[in-house]
Amino acid sequence: MITFMNNSDSEEEPCNERTSLMSAESPPVPSYQDGPQASEAGEAQARRKRRAGSSRGPNNIAGGEHVDSRIPVRESALENEEEELTLKYGAKHVIMLFVPVTLCMIVVVATIKSVRFYTEKNGQLIYTPFSEDTPSVGQRLLYSVLNTIIMISVIIVMTVFLVLLYKYRCYKFIHGWLILSSLMLLFLFTYIYLGEVLKTYNVAMDYPTLFLVIWNFGAVGMICIHWKGPLQLQQAYLIMISALMALVFIKYLPEWSAWVILGAISIYDLMAVLCPKGPLRMLVETAQERNEPIFPALIYSSAMMWTVGMAKPDTAARGPSQQPWDAAEDEREHQREPPHADSQMSETRSPVPTRPVTSLEELEEEERGVKLGLGDFIFYSVLVGKAAATASGDWNTTLACFVAILIGLCLTLLLLAVFKKALPALPISITFGLIFYFSTDNLVRPFMDTLASHQLYI
C-alpha cells in the first residue's frame, strides 16, 4: 500500500498542474455534482477565460477587427464564444451522461424483473431498524420517517468524518478505507449477485470456476478503478458497481422508507452542496486550497480529462453492513485518478503548440468530459428499480420514471451551463421521478388499463 501511495502521490503533482488547467476549460464539464467541483471549476474557468482570451486575441485581430474600439466587444464575444462552445458541446455531454445512466438503470431493471431475490424481503439494514410490518398507516409512516432520520444522520456523520479526515491530511486512512470498501463491493456483492442470477436461470456452476471468474472480475476492477485502465472498462466497472449497490438498496430498504429516504436525500444533497457550511462545500474548498485531486474515486467521468480535484461528494453510502457502508460512502466521495490520462495528455500537448490556437482549444474541449457522482447513479437506479419492483402498472411506471429522470438530468445540466458551478444532480431528477412515479401509478394506470381492455387508442 505504501508504494501505491507513493505512486499516486507523485503522480498527483503533475496531474494537478496539467489537469487544473484543463479543467478550467469549461465550467459545466467538470463539476456536475456537489460541492467540490464547483468552486474549483469556477476558479478554473476564470483562469481559462483569461488564457482563452489571450489565445483568441490574435485570431480575432487576424479576423480583421479593430483592436481599440473592439476590445470590450471582443471580450464579450470571447465570453459568448466560451458559452456557445460550452452549450454546443453541452448536448454531447448530456448524451455522454445519458448513456451510462440509462445502462445502469437497464441493468437494475432487468435484474429486478428476472431475479426474484432482490424483491424478497429478507431483512433490513441496521440503519433502518424500524420494521414496516405494522398494521396501522400512521405507525408505518412514523417508522419510515424515523428510519429516514437515522439514515440521513448516518450519512451526515460519515460525510463530516470524511471531510475532517481530509482536512487533517489522513490520506492513508482514507485510501485504505476506500480500497477496502471497493474490495468488498467488487467481490462480495458480485458473488451474491452471480449466485442469484445463476440460481434463477438454473445454471450449474462449480466453485473453482466461480472463484476464477470472480477473482478475475474483482482484480481487474480494483486495478481499473484505483489505478490505470482503459476508459471504457473503467466506466463499465463504475456502472456495474453502481448497479450492484442500487440492487442492494432496493432489496434491503423497506417500502415507504425507501421513498421517504429518496426525498430526504435530495433535500440533503441540495443543502450540502449549496449551503456555505455544507460538508461537501468544505471538502471542495479544502481540495482547492491544496490544489490537489481528492481521492481515487467514484466519480464517473465520461472522457479522459479529469481529475483535478473534483470530488464528488454525493452523499452517502448505504449498505447492508457497516464496513461497506463506510467504504461505499468513501467511494462516493472519492475521485478517480486517471494517471494514464496524464500520459495521454502529455502526448497530445506536444503537437498542440504547433497547431493554431483555436484548434488547441477545441482539442482540449473535446477531451473534456462530464463528471457525475456515482451516488447519483445509485439513487436514480434505486428509484427506477423500486418503480419496476413495486408498481403494479409495471412497465408504464418504469418507463415514466425513466423519462422523468432523464429530463431532470437534462435540466440540471442546463442549469450547470447557466450557473457554472457545481450543482447537486439529485434534487431535480428525483423530484420529477417521484412525482411521475406516484402519479403514473395511481392515475395513469387505471386509465391505460381501461383503454387497453377496450383497445382504444389515444
Residues near another protein, by CB under 8 A: 80-81, 83-84, 87-88, 91-92, 94-95, 98, 393-396, 399-400, 403-404, 406-407, 410, 436, 439-440, 442-444, 446-448, 450-452, 454-458
Q: Kindly state the smallest distance separating residue 393's Cβ from another protein, in Å.
A: 8
Q: In the beta sheet, which residues pair with residue 299? A: 373
Closest to another protein by CB, 306 or 436: 436
Q: In the beta sheet, which residues pair with residue 371? A: 301
The answer to whether residue 269 is catalytic is: yes
Gap between the Cα atoms of 276 and 144, Å rounded: 30
DSSP strands (E only) in 183-261: none
Question: Are the C-beta atoms of residues 312 and 375 closer than 8 Å to each other?
Answer: yes
Closest to another protein by CB, 230 or 446: 446
Closest to another protein by CB, 295 or 380: 380
> 451 to each of 236, 400, 401, 457, how far by Cα in Å?
40, 18, 21, 7
Closest to another protein by CB, 4 or 447: 447
Contacts of 259-263 with C-beta under 8 Å, sequence gap 24+, read 259/144, 259/386, 259/434, 260/144, 260/145, 260/147, 260/148, 261/147, 261/148, 261/151, 261/152, 262/379, 262/382, 262/383, 262/430, 262/433, 262/434, 263/430, 263/434
Q: Kindly state the smallest distance separating residue 444's Cβ from another protein, in Å.
A: 5
Q: What does the buried/exposed string (b/e) look like for 291-326 if buried means 16 or more CB atoms within 10 Å of the residue's CB? A: ebbbbbbbbbbbbbbbbbbbbbbbbbbbbbeeebbb
Gap between the Cα atoms of 248 and 220, Å rounded: 22
269, 326, 330, 441: which one is catalytic? Answer: 269
Cα-Cα-Cα-Cα dihedral sign, residues 49, 55, 58, 63: negative
User: C-alpha angle 148/322/378, rounded to 5°?
Assistant: 60
Q: In the beta sheet, which residues pair with residue 209? A: none
Gap between the Cα atoms of 142 and 150, Å rounded: 12
Angle at which helices 207-226 and 190-201 cross, to 10°: 140
Q: Kindly state the smallest distance separating residue 391's Cβ from another protein, in Å.
A: 11
Closest to another protein by CB, 96 or 224: 96
Question: Are the C-beta atoms of residues 405 and 432 closer than 8 Å to each other?
Answer: yes
Q: Kindly state the smallest distance separating residue 45's Cβ from another protein, in Å.
A: 17
Q: Kindly state the smallest distance separating residue 102's Cβ from another protein, in Å.
A: 10
Chain centroid to CA 428: 15
Closest to another protein by CB, 101 or 248: 101
Closest to another protein by CB, 215 or 395: 395
Q: Kindly state the smallest distance separating residue 438's Cβ from another protein, in Å.
A: 11
Q: Kindly state the smallest distance separating residue 75's Cβ from another protein, in Å.
A: 17
34, 330, 342, 376: which one is catalytic? Answer: 376
- Residue 136 is classified by DSSP as S
Q: Kindly state the smallest distance separating residue 353's Cβ from another protein, in Å.
A: 24
Question: Are the C-beta atoms of residues 152 and 268 closer than 8 Å to each other?
Answer: yes
The answer to whether residue 376 is catalytic is: yes
Closest to another protein by CB, 189 or 436: 436
- Catalytic machinery residues: 269, 376
